[in-house]
């Protein structure tokens, strides 16, 4: 390996925020947060989900989402769907009023 171009390899403490499970893994990941484990200080990396909490590995049917991402996505999608529906309704109403105006103007021209 070339000198001074690679980040330092070190042990980093990964913590699953939904279950509190801790993993000590060697990596080049750099973190400013620190935590003490077994009397030694390690850089800390927080994970929203890991093998300790993922439904596939835990064999559970529930999805644990400690950060509310699923709810946030559902709300965003529902809001977008409502906005699209309102826009479609406005377009349909505009077409109806335009059709009525055309009918009125064509009937006036026939009378004259």
pLDDT by residue for the chain (112 residues), tens only, comes to: 688 888 889 999 999 888 888 999 999 988 899 999 999 999 999 888 887 877 676 777 665 565 677 777 777 788 777 787 888 888 888 888 877 776 666 655 555 5
End-to-end CA distance of the chain: 93
Give yes or no: residues 3 and 56 share one domain: yes
Residue among 25, 56, 57 at smallest CA distance from 42: 25
pLDDT for residue 64: 56
Give yes or no: residues 79 and 63 share one domain: no
The whole domain housing 11 covers 1-67
Model pTM score? 0.49
Domain count within the chain: 2
Give yes or no: residues 62 and 74 share one domain: no
């Amino acid at each position: 390996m070339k000198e001074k171009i690679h980040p330092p390899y070190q042990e980093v403490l990964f913590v699953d925020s939904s279950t509190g499970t801790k993993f000590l893994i060697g990596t080049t990941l750099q973190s400013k947060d620190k935590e003490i484990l077994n009397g030694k200080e390690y850089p800390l990396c927080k994970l929203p989900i890991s093998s300790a909490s993922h439904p596939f590995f835990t064999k559970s049917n529930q999805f644990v989402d400690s950060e509310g991402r699923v709810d946030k996505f559902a709300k965003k999608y529902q809001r977008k769907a409502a906005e699209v529906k309102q826009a479609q309704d406005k377009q349909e109403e505009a077409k109806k009023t335009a059709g009525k105006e055309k009918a009125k103007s064509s009937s006036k021209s026939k009378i004259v």
